Chain A
Amino acid sequence: MLKIKDLTKTFGGRVIIDKLSFDVPDSEILTIVGPSGAGKTTLLRCISGLEKIDAGGFYINDQKFDPYENSGNESVIGVVFQDFQLFPNLTVMDNVTLAPKLVLKKDVATVKKEALESFARLQLDGKEDLYPYQLSGGQKQRVAIARALAMHPQILCYDEPTSALDPELRGEVSKIIKGLKQDGMTQIVVTHDMDFANDVADKQLHVSPIK
């Protein structure tokens, strides 16, 4: 269970998030919805440790953790970015295996085996030697998911997962997200796409801009 308590984030004196508290039970999908400017992405960036928070805290199974300084042995948060941010200079395989090799110090054979299993699930078989520019948007997103999963995070976050995709691919993403839930993954999805949010959510967080 991820608990967020009294999270506050300001930018140059302007309060973006004001004492926000909520929790995400294990294996559930939380969607964060709201108009642009409401701080959805900022919230996600705080959870994933890309922004330093001004006050409040994160607890996982009642243990406090600081995603900004996350340097322990365990991966807590995985992120699938809106524009995926695959590494263009690396193959699909290397994109996925780089961090497990360098950070988790796993041996190459294990990491590759895991990656191939993940590719099979995400319908990326045969793509392992391609470079990101050779992939479609949907394939890039699935590589981004595989890359995040390879670090075995406890929680997987998505920033606007449908925004860069053709409408007919929305169903694919929601299938993947629901499939990961079946495996016990806790997930947080930021989106402004209400249909999509209603489709995948176990729980919904509506945010609105602070006046």
Chain B
Amino acid sequence: MFSLHYISEILPSLLSGTTMTLKIFCWTLIGALPIGMIFGLGLVSKFRPIRYILNFYVWLMRGTPLLLQLIFVFYGLPIVGIVFQRYDAALFAFILNYAAYFAEIFRGGLQSVDRGQYEAAKVLRLSYWQTIRKIVIPQVAKIVLPSIGNEVINLVKDSSLVYVIGIGDLLRAGNVASSRDVTLVPLLLVGIIYLLLTAICTYILRRIEKHFAYWR
């Protein structure tokens, strides 16, 4: 059963599953990173109500399983008349969940920038947004990169949770083939593909970290 012939037979379905996994991965990052950054700024805001609301949101998103959130959005919300397509439901839940983790990471990064940096910018009469853009974000980016990288690797694997709402991702493709043909091969291949994806992510993250190594 471990023949090249069999592998070439199931590979197309595994690859189309991989495409779905990558789509969820990419769109979640594209959505959750900017939202997380803005929420992170909100978490250190001087305006208390914003902090309370965002802290509650972060607590809710990090305090409940992502699996529950997926089920809630796709199977639960229709009960009260809010209906999502499978794929939209998955992205909605993933982006909200990951934005909460990113917000916490950015909060920590923002708080580790020396207050003197803001003061130096203020006496040079830079505006708040000029300070954030030119001074704070570059410094925060460098600080948060390793933690963000961790979450990115997690996301590659977490994306397999969409299985539960019936999306044809990589894991589902492997599982279907494995139970249909009664063989471990597809599951092994699925594992290898996840390993490759995380290896690529690790490599890219290292490159980005290196890019930020020009100052310290």
| A43 contacts partner chain B, Cβ-Cβ < 8 Å | no
Question: Interface residues of A toward B: which range?
Answer: 20 to 34
**Contacting pair B124 A99 (CB below 8 A):** yes
**Contacting pair A48 B117 (CB below 8 A):** no
**Contacting pair A98 B124 (CB below 8 A):** yes
Q: Give the segment of B53-61, B76-84, B134-142 that binds chain A.
A: B134-142
| B210 contacts partner chain A, Cβ-Cβ < 8 Å | no
Closest to A151 in B: B124
Q: Which residues of A contact B47 (CB under 8 A)?
A: none
Also in contact, A85 and B139, with CB within 8 A (given A71-B125, A103-B124, A131-B214): no
Hey, what's the 0/1 contact readout for B124-164 against A, CB within 8 Å counting as 1? 11100010001100110010000000000000000000000
CA distance A98 to B123 in the complex (A): 13
**Contacting pair A87 B117 (CB below 8 A):** yes
| A102 contacts partner chain B, Cβ-Cβ < 8 Å | yes
**Contacting pair B125 A78 (CB below 8 A):** no
CA distance A148 to B216 in the complex (A): 22
Q: Which residues of B contact A34 (CB under 8 A)?
A: none
**Contacting pair B116 A85 (CB below 8 A):** yes
| B122 contacts partner chain A, Cβ-Cβ < 8 Å | yes
CA distance A89 to B136 in the complex (A): 9
| A22 contacts partner chain B, Cβ-Cβ < 8 Å | no
Partner of B119, one of A50, A86, A98: A50
**Contacting pair A133 B114 (CB below 8 A):** no
CA distance A83 to B119 in the complex (A): 12
| B215 contacts partner chain A, Cβ-Cβ < 8 Å | yes
Partner of A103, one of B114, B120, B126, B214: B126
| A196 contacts partner chain B, Cβ-Cβ < 8 Å | no
Q: Which residues of B contact A139 (CB under 8 A)?
A: none
**Contacting pair A85 B122 (CB below 8 A):** no
**Contacting pair A78 B117 (CB below 8 A):** no
| CB neighbors of B among A63-108 (8 A) | 70-71, 75, 77-79, 81, 83, 85-90, 98-99, 102-103
Instruction: Sample 15 A-B pairs with CB under 8 A, ordered by A number.
Output: A49-B123, A81-B116, A83-B116, A85-B116, A85-B117, A87-B117, A87-B135, A89-B135, A98-B126, A98-B134, A102-B126, A103-B125, A103-B126, A103-B130, A133-B216
- B interface residues (Cβ-Cβ under 8 A, vs A): 114, 116-117, 119-120, 122-126, 130, 134-135, 138-139, 142, 214-216
- A interface residues (Cβ-Cβ under 8 A, vs B): 48-50, 70-71, 75, 77-79, 81, 83, 85-90, 98-99, 102-103, 131-133, 147-148, 151
Task: Known A-B contacts: A85-B116, A131-B214, A132-B215. Give 19 more (CB < 8 A).
Answer: A49-B122, A50-B119, A71-B125, A75-B125, A79-B120, A83-B116, A85-B114, A85-B119, A87-B117, A88-B216, A89-B139, A90-B135, A99-B124, A103-B124, A103-B125, A103-B126, A131-B215, A131-B216, A147-B124
